[in-house]
Amino acid sequence: MNKISLKLLYIYFKQIFTGRFESLKKANEKENKIKSGLRQIGFIILIIYGFGSLLGLWGMISFELFSQLHGLGDQKIQIYDKILDRFDLASISMTFLIVVIGFLNIIITFFSINFFLNLTSSEEYLLTLPIDDKTLFSSKIINISLTNGFFFIIMAFVQFAIYGIIEKLTFDYYIIFFIQAIIVNLFASFIGIAVSLFLVNIFKFLKNKDLMTYLSIFIFLPILIGYNIAFQKLAQNPSGIMNVLVNLLNKNTKLLSTIELILSPLFLFFNYIVNNVVKERTILRFLHYLIQVGVLFLLYQLIIIIFGPIYKKLLLITNIKKEKINNKKSKNSSLYNEKKPFISLLKKEILSIYREPNYFLNGPFVIILMPIILVITYYFSMKNTADMKNLALLLLNNKDNLNFIVSISIVISFLLGDFSSITSTAISREGKSFSILKTLPIKPKDYIFSKLTHGLIITFIGILLSTTFIYFLLKIDILVILLICIISLISSILFHIISLNFDITKPKLSWDNPIVAMKQNFNAVYAIFVGMGYAVFLFFQTKYLLKASSTFLVRLIPSINDKSNIVLLTGLILILLITSLENLIVYLISISSLEKKLQEIEL
């Protein structure tokens, strides 16, 4: 890595830092400093909560496994035709966990492929300079590896540290653990970058970076779903992890050999590192560090030599759109003129999501992916279909349980449909083109209504998928499912209005990379917190109204007590009317305020 690579690396890190913390720099007045401070605190709390939950789960799995292995003492276990002691088992199990961390790192690196294929204006300027392909690519590799792999380095270190605490190792081993955690994740990140560029390069004949990215991601999607299923099974019974490991080794020797062969570079290198951690207690471990760094450096150089030129070519590919030529131009022109501004704006909103991979992956893709993962996970983790059906019938036959299930179903549908950051970043996604939109003869109401409608369309897709899953899981009456779907959709109007209000009040219009509009926008964070609060309110409101309507109907018509389905449908219709009234009032109160704020946005 030469001086130019280091300078580029400095620029990339500076862009990340200024992009995420620029609000603090702009806070000159006391009031702005307080608001910026609160935003920063909220952002930090969200990071700690999200990553802390995953880190806690990983720490629990590691603690349970290594505690059970430590409890074996000098006892040995025969697996297949081999006699293994607890250190052998610790080596195997730690290798497995490290492979999981490394594989997750590869997945995250792969899904951030769009980050290093789409450039900011300053990076596009670099392409015009006489900078060598390898120099440009080398700085990007280190940047992606460190930013994407930071959390996984912590995960690997926590795993190693828990092993050290249980085995009562000396302090110097924790320094070793940290070094090994960095090496493991750099190796995984390098592999992830190579796989990503290889798959994207396969589709380079399409001459469209967006389409290339989508196809590459969908190829990788089954692997992600399989990983999720395996991790769910691993986390279901942490107290029996050692037995699961032993049974896995005993019964699936051929399968494990095949996996080891397919993932041989990853598996062998990680196993080599783990053996250095677990078994090597002499000065020779420092020689192993040199070997590991050498392997890492050779892989780094190999990726630069092979993929450096490929990366430069992929960057230069422009999005080529194939347009159909229609001979009836005058007719098409007249049809276009007849379109209402609202329809044109809504069409622009929908197309903009699918043209930009960052928007698609953080919007519709999340909503589509989550139900698919739930369905597949449920299918593979389902031990006894008959027991599940009996449990569903038992729950649905009790009126109180049914009310609770319906309330939960409404909340789940609401959450799944709304947490896509579509409306909370609706204005920010316009970027510098917003100044052009303000000059057009468009009514603010049409513009706002197109943003809300687009959010509702995405929400409807999520609600439809979630209610379909609930229907097949619990076999609830189709009319009940239909009402749940409508109530969830209408309830989301309020959420979208509040989300849009956040982004209209303080839009993030100044950006060079579309990632900034979605990923580095605090308005999306605020909307998530509001959505969570509103979901809690929606749950208790639904549960209370169902119970109140049921009590009232039974007192009014005692014979209806045996017809629980009619009572439930009546209660849901009442909830639908009340929810519609609530959201209509909020819309009528807010629309004028949103129009005024839209006109006051300073460019």
- Summarize pLDDT for 446-498 with one digit per residue, the tens: 888 888 888 888 888 888 888 887 787 777 788 888 888 888 888 888 888 88
Mean pLDDT of the chain: 72
More confident residue, 373 or 535: 535
pLDDT value at position 242?
Answer: 55
Answer whether 101's CB lies under 8 Å from 152's CB.
yes
Q: pLDDT exceeding 70 applies to what percent of the chain?
A: 60
- Summarize pLDDT for 137-180 with one digit per residue, the tens: 777 777 778 777 788 888 888 888 888 888 887 777 788 778 88
- Which two structure tokens, joined as six digits, stand for 424? 């909370």
- Summarize pLDDT for 578-599 with one digit per residue, the tens: 888 888 888 888 888 888 888 8
Q: Taking residues 333-351, what's their average pLDDT? A: 68
Pairwise CA distance, residues 342 & 352, whole Å: 15
Pairwise CA distance, residues 150 & 95, whole Å: 19
Helix (H, G, I), strand (E, B) or coil at 83: strand
- Summarize pLDDT for 418-438 with one digit per residue, the tens: 677 788 888 888 887 777 777
Q: Is residue 321 pLDDT above 50, yes or no?
A: no
Cβ partners under 8 Å of residue 402, min gap 6: 395, 396, 564, 568
Q: Is residue 378 pLDDT above 70, yes or no?
A: no
Is the entire prediction scored with pTM above 0.85? no
Q: State residue 84 phi and psi, 5-degree precision.
A: -120, 140
- Summarize pLDDT for 183-242 with one digit per residue, the tens: 888 888 888 888 878 877 776 655 555 555 566 566 656 666 665 555 555 555 555 555
Rg of the Cα atoms in the chain: 28
- Summarize pLDDT for 4-15 with one digit per residue, the tens: 656 665 555 555
Answer whether 100's CB lies under 8 Å from 274's CB.
no
More confident residue, 280 or 150: 150
Q: Is residue 407 pLDDT above 60, yes or no?
A: yes
Q: Taking residues 34-54, what's their average pLDDT? A: 66
Pairwise CA distance, residues 499 & 491, whole Å: 13
